[in-house]
Amino acid sequence: MEESRPASQADLRFEAAVERPLSVVFRTPSGGWEGHDYRVEVIAERNGLDAFDVVVDFRDLEAALDALLAPLRGRMLAEAGLEGPLDLVRDLARELAPRVPPPARLAEVALTDGQGRRLAFRP
């Protein structure tokens, strides 16, 4: 009979998430305009934890997200070259991925609207 050994910390996957609000306006496929208040959630992950028992420094992840969201707040996504929420979530993931220090990595970027509808992108 084989004994199961407890998993070491390095064998376990950990996640850290930060959220920020964002209000934007975009053109719908029918040509109308639509505005949404979103919660932007960014999740980083890694196997094991660092010497301080964290996945990534939350302050660094928040600062990177804040820098990307600042020029978008209260604006039309088209002004930033984005057609809609899907473009937004993909662009945020592309811009944030290199800002997550290894061995952690960007796991997901998600937008949740005021009615709880969620759009998530996993690079």
The predicted model scores a pTM of 0.88
Residue 5 pLDDT grade (very low, low, confident, very high; cuts 50, 70, 90): low
Q: Where are the domains of the chain?
A: 9-121
Residue 6 pLDDT grade (very low, low, confident, very high; cuts 50, 70, 90): low
pLDDT tens readout for residues 103-115: 999 999 999 999 9
Whether the predicted pLDDT of 65 surpasses 70: yes
Per-residue pLDDT, averaged over 36-41, amounts to 96
Q: Return the CATH number of 9-121, one of 3.30.1360.30, 3.30.479.10, 2.60.40.10, 3.40.50.620.
A: 3.30.479.10
Residue 10 pLDDT grade (very low, low, confident, very high; cuts 50, 70, 90): confident
3-state secondary structure the chain: CCCCCCCCHHHCEEEEEEEEEEEEEEECCCCCEEEEEEEEEEEEEEECCCCCCCCCCHHHHHHHHHHHHHHHCCEEHHHHCCCCHHHHHHHHHHHHHHHCCCCCEEEEEEEEECCCCEEEECC
